[in-house]
């Protein structure tokens, strides 16, 4: 019997090795092809909302909640699937508008700081990213190659949020925003009774549009003593007024300027003392005029207001002491300066 030839150690054949290599490359390529880039995150903050998180901080908060990287805060182009967050702040609180594709939803927090919104916004984004709903709307997805019968259209699902806020108002709705503020403070006048007099002033403004307001108020000037021998005359004035204002500069969240027109109706009172016959007399006081108003925000709903008004009496009323002469006659134009605090009711 011929001797057996020794066998070489067992190695896989060349064909088997090639097949395994091809399968590994195919698996690796499939995984890389299936990997998708993270959605881009862009955050736009108004000047009054700079205490809110930027894109980097917001993406880090979402990553902590989801235990994985979920958003790309780096600057660059905004591909399909990008999320943009617009944050604005003001006396009424903070609002964040989340825009994904062609849909926008808002979450709001009435607190004067961004602390509450900073906690709720990452959770809202995490719920959005963890849901099965795609970030891109159906109108942005590519059309199929083979025509198919589409299913019945369903109403688009709202983006998940912590609250159930109303949809973002349209520009036409924004012009219907109303507000009520009350102001009270000190007043100083020149020409209404004399060269310089002090008093108090209070008023309320009702804003029925973003740039217009109507208001009503009143002021009182302390009695002014006029020496008129052999006695003296005390003259005082109180009046109420109605006005309309147009805001021409600034914004409600910071400082703004308005021009106003008003009509006033009041009572002018004169009281004599030191005469043979002391008398008290009242006269109606009617005036027209205008004003410049500057108001600003101190904190949340609290603010300040300064108003410089002028009044032109429609009828000049005077006081005369019997058998002696004219004791008081108003000026042709009077000026009133008011400065005080302001509270926004709603």
Other beta carbons within 10 Å of 65? 16
Rounded Cα distance between 111 and 117, Å, is: 9
Q: What's the Rg (C-alpha) of the chain?
A: 37
pLDDT digits 0-9 by tens, 21-67: 444 444 444 444 345 788 888 899 988 888 899 988 988 988 888 88
Taking the model in full, what pTM does it have?
0.49
Structure tokens at 234: 């005390």
Rounded Cα distance between 286 and 265, Å, is: 5
Q: Write out the chain's pLDDT in tens, 346 residues.
A: 444 444 444 444 444 444 434 444 444 444 443 457 888 888 999 888 888 999 889 889 888 888 889 888 887 655 556 888 999 887 778 888 888 877 787 888 887 788 888 888 888 888 888 764 554 444 444 444 444 444 555 454 444 445 545 555 454 444 445 678 999 999 999 999 989 999 999 999 888 766 889 999 999 999 998 888 888 888 999 999 999 999 999 887 789 899 999 999 999 988 888 887 888 888 999 999 999 999 999 988 899 999 999 999 998 887 777 778 787 888 889 999 999 999 988 7
Q: What is the dihedral of CA 146, 151, 156, 161, to 10 degrees?
A: -90
**β-sheet with 41-45: strand ranges across:** 41-45, 83-90, 93-100, 103-109
In the chain, the domains with their CATH numbers are 38-149+156-165 (3.40.50), 179-344 (2.40.160.20)
Q: β-pairing, 103-109 with 179-190?
A: unpaired
pLDDT digits 0-9 by tens, 179-218: 789 999 999 999 999 899 999 999 998 887 668 899 999 9
């Amino acid at each position: 019997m011929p001797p057996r030839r020794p066998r070489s150690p067992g190695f896989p054949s060349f064909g088997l090795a090639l097949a395994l290599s091809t399968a590994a490359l195919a698996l690796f390529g499939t995984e890389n092809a299936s990997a998708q880039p993270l959605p881009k995150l862009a955050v736009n903050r108004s000047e009054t909302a700079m205490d809110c998180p930027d894109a980097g901080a917001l993406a880090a908060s979402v990553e902590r909640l989801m235990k994985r990287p979920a958003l790309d805060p780096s600057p660059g182009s905004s591909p399909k699937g990008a999320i943009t967050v617009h944050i604005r702040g003001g006396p009424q609180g903070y609002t964040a508008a989340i825009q994904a594709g062609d849909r926008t939803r808002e979450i709001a927090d009435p607190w004067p700081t961004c602390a509450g919104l900073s906690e709720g916004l990452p959770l809202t984004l995490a719920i959005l990213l963890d849901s099965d709903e795609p970030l891109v709307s159906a109108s942005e997805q590519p059309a199929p190659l083979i025509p198919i019968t589409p299913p019945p259209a369903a109403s688009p699902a709202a983006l998940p949020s912590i609250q159930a806020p109303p949809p973002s108002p349209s520009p036409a709705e924004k012009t219907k925003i109303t507000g009520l503020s009350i102001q009270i403070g000190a007043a100083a006048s020149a020409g209404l009774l004399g060269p310089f007099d002090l008093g108090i002033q209070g008023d309320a403004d009702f804003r029925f549009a973003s740039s217009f307001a109507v208001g009503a108020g009143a002021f009182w000037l302390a009695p002014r003593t006029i020496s008129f021998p052999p006695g003296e005359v005390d003259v005082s004035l109180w009046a109420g007024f109605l006005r309309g204002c147009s805001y021409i500069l600034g914004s409600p969240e910071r400082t703004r300027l308005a021009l106003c027109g008003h009509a006033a109706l009041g009572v002018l009172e004169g009281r004599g003392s030191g005469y043979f016959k002391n008398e008290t007399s009242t006269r109606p006081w009617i005036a027209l005029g205008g004003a410049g108003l500057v108001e600003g925000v101190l904190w949340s709903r609290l603010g300040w207001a300064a108003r410089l008004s002028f009044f032109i009496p429609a009828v000049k009323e005077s006081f005369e002491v019997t058998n002696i002469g004219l004791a008081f006659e108003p000026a042709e134009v009077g000026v009133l300066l008011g400065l005080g605090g302001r509270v926004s009711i709603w």
